[in-house]
Structure formats: structure tokens, C-alpha cells
Chains A and B, each alone.
Chain A
Amino acid sequence: MLAFTIRRVFQSFVVLLVVGLVAFSMFRFVGDPIDNMLGQERTGADIERLRSNLGLDQPFPIQYLRFLEGAVQGNFGVSYRQGRPVADIIAERLPATLELAAVSAVLAIVFGLILGVFTAIRKDGWAANTIMTLSLVGVSLPTFLIGILLIYLFAVELNVLPSFGRGDVVDLGWWRTGFLTESGLKALILPSITLGLYQMTLIMRLVRSEMLEVLRQDYIRFARARGLREKSVLFRHALKNTLVPVITVTGLQLGSIIAFAIITETVFQWPGVGLLFINAIQFVDIPVMAAYLMLISVMFVGINLIVDMLYFVIDPRLRGDNTKATA
């Protein structure tokens, strides 16, 4: 277990270093940072001063190390477009994205699990069949169209929910939350459904197929032969075994939620880091792009690491020392 953990942590670091190199290369080679930071009126002295300030006169590996050093301390330089430190801009917008992603993830997991289990148990029922057919359409529907559809229904036609923004927010220290006001919660509904629906469909289909697979296993038959209650067979024996493979994919899905938040945030003008990233691409604001890349990589790598660790908690076959006979 320990050896495995160390190896996985090490691998994660390698991935982060590679992503860091990509981010740094963007910063260094895409366009000329000096051009981007100084306006039209500049003197040779300005250029030289900035060049040495930014460390651009140093050899490449040194520059990379200095970039990493800055990145670890959360220093990603100054946004070309806003002229403010990138770290500040991201810190200010991150809570919005995290709140949206968290609510969507909870929606996706809870409903994905419930519907997946339901459609597996009632395999041939009409309700299960209807849900499965609907989910096919759900998978083919691009996220932004779902968002637009929801806006049209609930904001334009019914006029019951807001179509953009976060509503009223409350500052808790540096964290600006929308959870504490009615309008903040209302504003969350449509974006989180938009973001969660696709992931929910995937989780549901996965849970269903895994559960059906598990229900065919001998130990489920044996559990029935032992006279256990159907509830215990389904939820104590089958569900737990279903969860083992489901956890990986779900973990990766959570990563995608943060990435797909870019689309949802654009549709709903949600002031999070995704919208920031899209604007950065439109204006080629390299420091913001680089910082976003690093941020999202850390999240992805972290989620992957947690997923791997969760395996140990749920599956005893991986736990303990591997010296015991498995024959």
C-alpha cells in the first residue's frame, strides 16, 4: 500500500512537471511577453529592465525552474489583459466554479446512482426502458444546447429562474458564496443541472451495466441461496461490488465537470474560472491560460490520486500486503 502510494504520488508529480513545462512554454514562446506587457510606447531601457525582471535573460532551464518556483507559490505573473496578478483573479473566481461543480457533481452522482440501480433492478420495466431511451438522447445533446433549452423553458417561457449570473452572494472571508441567499441558490439551479445532466447520464449507464454484470455473479446467486433478503442482496452485496469499477469512471467524470464548467459558465455568464479561461483564449491572455492549465491539472491529478486510494478502502483484495496466497 505504501509503496503503491509513493509510486502514484511520484507519477502525479511527473505529470504535473510535464504540464508545467507546457504551461511555461506557452508563457515563454507564444507571442512575445515583452510585446504583450508593454504598450506601443516603450524604450529600449524599458524592454531591458522588464526582460531582466521577468528573468528572460536567463538560460531556459533556469527560467523553467523559476516558473515552477513561482507556480508552487501561486505566482503566475500578471494578466496581459487586466493588468492584475493572475493569482488574485483566479482566487476571486474560483469559489463560483467550485460551488457550481460541487452541486453538479452531487446531482450527477446521486441521481446517476439511483437511476442506474433502478434501471438495473427493473431491467424490463417500462419506466426503466423510458429512462434508458431518454438517456441516449441526453448523451447526444451538446451541453450548451441543454443550457439554452433550460434557459428558454425556465427563464424565457416560465420566467421562474434567472438565466445568468450568481444572484446575491455573501462574503465569508475571501470565499464568496451563493449558498446563503435565496437568489444565489435559485441562480445555481439551471447551471448545475446543465453541467450535471451529461455526467449523470454517463454515471447512470455505467452503474446500470456494472450492476447487471454483478447480478449475474455466483456470489449473488449464493447470497440468494442463503435466503438473504432481496434488499440485502441488492444493496449490501450487489451495490458494493458495483461501486468498485464505478468509482474510477466517476472520479474522472468529476474532473470533466470542472472542464465542462467552461461551457456552462459561458452559457449562463457564471463568473467563474471557466469563463475567465474562455475570455483568456479569446484575447490570448497567456498567463491566465497557463495558470488555468496548471490549476486544472492539479485538480485532475489530485482526483485521480484520490480515486486510486479509494480503491484500497473499498476493495480488500488490494489492501494489505500482497504476500498472502491468492490462489
Chain B
Amino acid sequence: MAEAVLSIRELVVEIPTRHAVLRPVDRVSFDIAPGEILGVVGESGAGKSMTGNAVIGLLDRPAHIASGEILLNGTRIDNLTKDRLRRVRGKQIGMVFQDPLTSLNPLLPIGEQIAETILEHLPVSRAEAESRAVAALEEVGIPAAAARIGSYPHEFSGGMRQRVVIALALCAEPALVIADEPTTALDVSVQAQIIALLKQLCRERGTAVMLVTHDMGVIAEAVDRVAVMYAGRLAEIGAVRDVLTRPAHPYTTGLMASTPLASKGLKRLNQIPGAMPPLSRLPEGCAFHPRCPQAAERCRKEPGPTLAAGGGRAACWFAREPVA
């Protein structure tokens, strides 16, 4: 494997509250290779978005990185000064947010928003930035891009706006794009188009993607590898085919069983009993044990094994392919 674009090592994000220190991200490690698309799945509150926000350095106070390292192309970026980190954002890491309706500034023309991003990161003239903005819009499939450069966000439909957002994320040619639930807020009919577009553009440029989603359909469709998160920890990580067909962690098994996938045909859907506990009331031992059909004495006392990057697949004492 070539050197990873993004390496996360033992990342811990903490939120101090009045009563306790919460850990929405707890010792998470993984790599993303150049051009690779990594899907990150989990229920809401599992720490997926928080991980993405930690990578681009946009954690909302009082959340902060408590320990661990984040490396971009081999360079640490978690300890950069504010201004250095700002130069990384947009330039080296592009970001796509969930809701295209609220991601764009309603008072600036879209062409202007793209041009200002290009001017911020690339050494080009104003005219050059504007012509690149048109090109970027064409690439994401905005019809008559040159004519719509002066249009405002409200003049586009939701799907078109998400295309604009993707153009914005890619316009400074970053090595990595973090897409945080990019289709959740869209109509079902355009979701597939947007995912296909994101996949195609990144493949063409060799851009790596961290695709945060809770939609297993999107995972099956678009990603190379999957990371499954539960209660702030990495539960399982592996090639998409392996994880979907032979899940190693009981949580992943449950997640698969509760997701309708066309490839699996019509089967009864099973629900995982119970709900993910809030961070303030995590059980002792493995966080999943109260809901786990295989829970044993050990699981109630000891937290599951921590996954190292490039290591084994599942953070479970009884994983089918346990930690090497």
C-alpha cells in the first residue's frame, strides 16, 4: 500500500461537561490510501461526524482533541496553528456537508463563492479564478454553467446545490474530501446521482474520500473500505465486500440484518434490541455488551480490544476474525 493520504492514530476527542468528561471519539485509528473511498457508518452519535470535524480542525468548543495524531500525507495536522490549519482546509482537505440548503451563503452568487475559495488557495488571477469556477461548475454537471455563475443559491434545487457544494469542495484540488452525510437531506431520486458524481470525480482526480453516512446502500454502492463506529469507538474496519458479506463484529452483524439491501433479496429485517447508550451513560466493559447476543463475562468487565491501523478487523473479543 502506498503511503496513506490520511492517517489517524489513537484519536481521542473529549467534551468536558459539568459532571464528567465525555469521549465522543475514543482511540480511533485508521488510514485512507490515495484515491481510496472509505465509508464511515454508525448510528447518530457514534462519533462519525465528530471524527471528520476533528480531521479538518472544526470541532465546536468545548470539544477538543485530547490525544492522538492526525497525519495528512505524513505530516501532522492536529497540532498546527490556526492559520496553518486554515490553509490546509479547502486546499488539501475539501468538505461536503449534509444540508446543501444551508451550506451556501444565501447572499453571495455561487460563482463568487467558488472564486473566493480558489483565490484563497491557488496563486491565480481573479479572471483565472472565475474561469476555473465556471469549469468547476461544468464538471459537476450544472447546465449552462457560464450563464449561472451569477445566480444565487436559492435559485437552484437541492440536488443542484449539492453539486455546487461538491464543486466548492474540489475546486482547490484537495487530496482528501470529507463528505459528511452528503445525501441525507436530498430527495431519494437525486441521492444516487450525487453519490455517483462524487465517486466519479474523485476517481478521475485520484482524490481520497472519507464518506460519513448511516446509509448502508450508499456504502455498498460507493466505497472501497468501511469503518463501523459504535459509541465513539471503531467497531470494525475492512474491505467493503468482507464487511458486508462476512461481518466480524456482532454490532456489524446486527446492522446488516437491520438494513434492506437489494443484493440480499427479500428477507425479514431484524432489529438490534435496545438503543445506543448516550455518551454520558456508557456501560462498563464493551459499550455494546448490553445489546450483544454473544456478550460474555469478559465483555461486561473489559472494553473490547482497540483496533490499530492496518491491524485486525473487529474490536470484539469473540470476533470471527479476531485481532491479529
Q: Is the CB of B106 within 8 A of A317?
A: yes
Render A203-242 as a binary contact track against B, CB cut-off 8 A, 1 for contact: 0000000000000011101111111111010001100110
Asked if A226 and B117 make an inter-chain contact with CB atoms under 8 angstroms apart, the answer reads yes
Residue in B99, B109, B120, B165 whose beta carbon sits within 8 Å of that of A227 in the complex = B120
Q: Given A317-B154, A327-B157, do A224 and B103 touch, yes or no (CB 8 Å)?
A: no
A229 engages B120 (CB within 8 Å): yes
By the criterion CB–CB under 8 Å, are B90 and A228 in contact?
Answer: yes
Beta-carbon contact of B105 and A223 below 8 Å? yes
> Is the CB of A316 closer than 8 A to any CB of chain B?
yes
Given contacts A219-B106, A325-B157, contact A227 B97 (CB under 8 A): no
Q: Does A326 have its Cβ within 8 Å of any Cβ on chain B?
A: yes
Specify which of B58, B109, B120 is in contact with A221 (CB 8 Å cutoff).
B58
A54 to chain B, nearest CB (A): 55
B163 interface contact, C-beta 8 A: no
A324 at the interface (CB under 8 A from B): yes
CA distance A98 to B120 in the complex (A): 45
What 0/1 readout, one digit per residue, does chain A (308-327) give for beta carbons within 8 Å of chain B? 00000011110000001111
Find B116's partner among A222, A224, A232, A240 (CB 8 Å cutoff): A232
Contact between B108 and A227, CB atoms less than 8 A apart: no
CA distance A327 to B161 in the complex (A): 10
Q: In the complex the two chains form, is B105's CB within 8 Å of A241's CB?
A: yes
If the complex has contacts A221-B97, A222-B97, are A317 and B105 also in contact, measured as CB distance less than 8 A? no
Residues on A with C-beta less than 8 A from B104 are: 219, 222
CB distance from A244 to the nearest CB of B (A): 8
Q: When the two chains form their complex, are residues A230 and B86 in contact, meaning their CB atoms are under 8 A apart?
A: yes
Residue numbers in A under 8 Å from B95 (CB-CB): 222, 225-226
* Complex-state Cα separation, A28 to B285, whole angstroms: 88
Is B91 interfacial (CB 8 A cutoff)? yes
For the complex, count residues of A whose C-beta is within 8 A of B.
27
| Known pairs A225-B58, A227-B121, A228-B116; A218 contacts B103 (CB<8 A) | yes
A-B interface pairs (CB < 8 A), number:
84
B228 interfacial contact with A, CB 8 Å: no
B318 within 8 Å of A (CB atoms): no
Interface 1/0 per residue, B145-158 and A, CB below 8 Å: 00000001011011
What is the distance, in angstroms, from B5's C-beta to the closest C-beta of chain A?
17
CB-CB under 8 A for A226 and B89, given A217-B102, A221-B97, A316-B154: yes
Known contacts A218-B99, A219-B102, A225 near B89 by CB under 8 Å: yes
CB closest chain-A residue, reference B88:
A227
Given contacts A221-B58, A324-B155, A327-B157, are A226 and B106 in contact (CB under 8 A)? no
Q: Contacts of A325 on B, CB cut-off 8 Å?
A: 155, 157
Cα separation A229 to B97 with both chains bound (whole Å): 19
Query: Chain A contacts of B117 at CB under 8 A?
Result: 226-228
Closest to B150 in A: A316
Contact A316 B58 (CB under 8 A): no
The winner among B87, B90, B105, B120 for most chain A CB atoms within 10 A is B105
Given A219-B106, A222-B97, A240-B107: A228 in contact with B157 (beta carbons within 8 A)? no
Contact of A226 with B120 in the complex, beta carbons under 8 Å: yes
In-complex Cβ contact of A316 among B82, B107, B165 (8 A): B107
| Chain A min CB distance to B112 (Å) | 10
**Any A CB within 8 A of the CB of B56:** yes
Q: A227 to B178, alpha carbons, bound, how many Å?
A: 14
Query: Which A residues, 226 to 263, have Cβ-Cβ distances below 8 Å to chain B?
Result: 226-230, 232, 236-237, 240-241, 244
Indicate the member of B107, B109, B157 with the most A CB atoms within 10 Å.
B107
Q: Which residues of B contact A327 (CB under 8 A)?
A: 157-158
Can you list 7 residue pairs at the A/B interface with Cβ under 8 Å?
Answer: A221-B97, A222-B165, A226-B117, A226-B120, A227-B88, A227-B90, A244-B107
Q: Which residues of A contact B (CB under 8 A)?
A: 217-219, 221-230, 232, 236-237, 240-241, 244, 314-317, 324-327
Q: Which are the 3 A-B pairs with shortest beta-carbon distances?
A: A227-B90, A225-B95, A218-B102
- Besides A227-B90, A230-B86, A237-B105, 13 more A-B contacts (Cβ < 8 Å) are A218-B99, A218-B102, A219-B102, A219-B103, A219-B105, A224-B58, A225-B58, A225-B95, A226-B117, A228-B120, A230-B82, A241-B105, A316-B152
Q: Chain B interface (Cβ within 8 Å of chain A)?
A: 56, 58, 82, 86-91, 95, 97, 99, 102-109, 116-117, 120-121, 152, 154-155, 157-158, 165, 168-169, 172
